Chain A
Amino acid sequence: DTEVTQTPKHLVMGMTNKKSLKCEQHMGHRAMYWYKQKAKKPPELMFVYSYEKLSINESVPSRFSPECPNSSLLNLHLHALQPEDSALYLCASSHYLHNGQGIDGYTFGSGTRLTVV
């Protein structure tokens, strides 16, 4: 299995709703990521998980809450979002190179297109 699977593909939510985005990979990758992409812009990194622990939070508002319950799953919990949070949310994973030489093999999911109304 060489894929990153994201669900749902599309999500419409109200500003008072609570919803979650899900990401799954079975490649044995121990680094997982959330990116946000607005229309006609490049993806922007939000969070990095390394060995199931949060290692980077790019100053993301607390209405976005990531969770990594195990090495194959990554969730993004959403609460009290604003219309400007409407975007494509991409999940990615990668593996650690041997001998501490860093990370490689980034694989992206197809994303969840989120609309906040």
Chain B
Amino acid sequence: DAKTTQPTSMDCAEGRAANLPCNHSTISGNEYVYWYRQIHSQGPQYIIHGLKNNETNEMASLIITEDRKSSTLILPHATLRDTAVYYCIVRRGSEKLVFGKGTKLTVNP
């Protein structure tokens, strides 16, 4: 599975959009981009995934560039409860879900 690069940490004001970038320049054609988050002392939580089209669900939007080498997770109206570590993972349908270091997002009041 391809590796990803994410900023170590980001800050966002409550009520504003949080835009979390992820680089995956070696992604192959059949690999999906997944986003998970982990709130302190809880298990990771699935957020969203996509192949090449932009995706939106009740939690977030995922924007994937046309060349698929990078993506952005958007939390449209961040709340204090969105403070967490966000993991961008690129994978095929293999068994392993491997976590990188992720981005520590802090939402400030």
Contact = CB atoms under 8 A, between A and B. Distances in A.
B4 to A, nearest CB: 11
A109 B93 CA distance: 21
Interface residues of B, number: 21
Size bracket, chain A contacts? 20 to 34
A107 B43 CA distance: 9
A106 B42 contact: no
B95 A109 contact: no
B42 A111 contact: yes
Given A92-B43, A109-B43, A43 B99 contact: yes
Contact of B43 (A48, A56, A110): A110
Contacts, number: 56
Contacts of A92: 43-44, 97
Q: Is the interface of A mostly helix, strand, loop or mixed?
A: strand
A59 interface: no
Contacts of A109: 43
A102 B46 CA distance: 17
B52 interface: no
A56 B94 contact: no
A99 to B, nearest CB: 10
B43 A103 contact: no
A44 B45 CA distance: 15
Given A33-B97, A92-B97, 20 more contacts: A42-B85, A42-B87, A42-B99, A42-B101, A43-B38, A43-B44, A45-B96, A55-B95, A56-B95, A88-B41, A101-B93, A102-B94, A102-B95, A103-B94, A105-B46, A106-B97, A108-B44, A110-B42, A111-B42, A113-B41
Interface of B: 36, 38, 41-46, 85, 87, 92-102
Question: What 7 pairs between A and B have smallest CB-CB spacing?
Answer: A102-B93, A108-B43, A42-B99, A108-B44, A110-B43, A101-B93, A43-B99
Interface of A: 4, 31, 33, 42-45, 48, 50, 55-56, 88, 90, 92, 94, 97, 101-111, 113
9 contacts: A43-B38, A45-B97, A45-B98, A48-B96, A90-B43, A103-B95, A105-B46, A107-B46, A111-B41
